[in-house]
Amino acid sequence: MRPPSPKQLAEAEELLLAGRVRVVRAAAGRYLAEVQGSEVYRVEKRDGEFVCTCPLADYRPSWTCKHIAALQFVTGDRQGGETHE
pLDDT in tens, 3-33: 899 999 999 999 999 999 999 999 888 999 9
Residue 22 lies in a domain: yes
Residue 6 CA to residue 11 CA, distance in Å, equals 9
Q: Is residue 26 part of a domain?
A: yes
In a domain, 80, yes or no: no
Q: Is residue 40 part of a domain?
A: yes
Q: Which residues pair with 52 in a beta bridge?
A: 43
Does residue 15 or residue 2 have the better pLDDT?
15
Q: Is residue 81 part of a domain?
A: no
Nearest one of 75, 37, 74, 72 to 83, comparing CA atoms: 72
* Residue 85: inside a domain: no
Residue 60 to residue 55: CA distance in whole angstroms: 8
Mean pLDDT, to the nearest integer, of 50-73?
Answer: 92
Domain count, the chain: 1
* Domain that residue 48 falls in: 6-75
Residue 79 pLDDT: 64
